[in-house]
Structure 1
């Protein structure tokens, strides 16, 4: 009976192991920057968001709050939002990678994972830009944008990528 579930259990076990290893590595990375404020990856994202907003004529400056491990976005002479570690989408990317590699299919797994991570990275930057613009110009929509709209965009992108991976790569018959 357990033999029938072996493929499913194998995929599930791979997912859990990959997820836990990546999560542990990420936590180790975060712990190494505990004393210096926001971690470097999150800081790079904040700087790229600032650059895009300035290019879109939303004058933006960044202000470090080292003790609280955050960076504030100062847009149009108002503090609109703050960048914290959770805004960098690494946890979402770890979830994405774990799922894709659970259905490992050789070299195309690495190619798809790289393209997917790049797309998630870009979507996350645009998500933060969008949130800053909404909060700057339409403050009354801040909560719905932050709590529902923009998370739906990033998680929706992950789900679409997973569906593409499963339909066109992972479960595709190799003999066809």
Structure 2
């Protein structure tokens, strides 16, 4: 058993650090959600911010877009040319994906400053890509509502997780101490 622990020390270290980081960030985020101010059917601040930024981007590229609080749930409705096309819910704000990204980066940490800066830059990239994803998804749902299932559950999740995967690979190959010490 001792030989196995010694042999797989780096793998075990990665798993433990990943799980601890993921748990701490998820608990912190859930505390944020539980203490978020707002009405019963009004989303948290970050979700509301994503909806407002989505609206600004849609209007910026020439669509007549509006957002409105959903009357029956904590979400924001995205409306293009008077047509309700999408809801922005808590899961659309990219925080859960950023938590997953950061947990991996910390588990494969490099120098502290590099890890901190890459985590921040990667989080901004993911957040920005997520906004663009919601804008394109809203436009797609406006023009091709019959493609909702494939757009929402296949193509756009594949794209956002693909970006996260590329950021992870760049991190591991360029900055991670764990890989460099094993090479």
TM-score by length of 2: 0.91
Greater Cα shift, 142-151 or 119-128:
142-151
Tell whether 2:176 aligns with 1:173.
no
Equivalent residue, structure 2, for 1:111: 117
1:31 to 31, 34, 47: 34
Matches within 5 A, 1:45-56: 45-56=50-61
Which residue of structure 2 lines up, in the alignment, with residue 62 of structure 1? Answer: 67
Separation in 2, partners of 1:41, 1:22: 16
Tell me the alpha carbon deviations over residues 31-50 of structure 1, each in whole angstroms, 9 at most, x when there is no partner: 11275320001111110000
Q: CA RMSD in A?
A: 1.6
Q: Distance in 2 between matches of 1:146 and 1:173?
A: 38
Between 1:30-39 and 1:132-141, the stretch displaced more is: 30-39
Contact map agreement 2:38 2:44 (CA 8 A) in 1:
no
Structure 1 unpaired stretches of 5+: none
| Contact 2:105 2:119 (C-alpha < 8 Å) held by counterparts | yes
C-alpha spacing 1:139/1:67, structure 2 compared with 1 (3 Å) = closer
Whole-Å separation in 2 of the counterparts to 1:32 and 1:82: 22
* 4+ runs deviating over 6 angstroms: none
The count of aligned residue pairs is: 175
- Whether the 8 Å contact between 2:47 and 2:88 is mirrored in structure 1 is yes
The separation in 2 between residues aligned to 1:24 and 1:67, in whole angstroms, is 26
Residue 108 of structure 1: how far off its partner (Å) = 0.7
- Match in the other structure for 1:3: 6
CA distance in 2, matches of 1:133, 1:160: 25
1:172 Cα shift?
Answer: 5.2
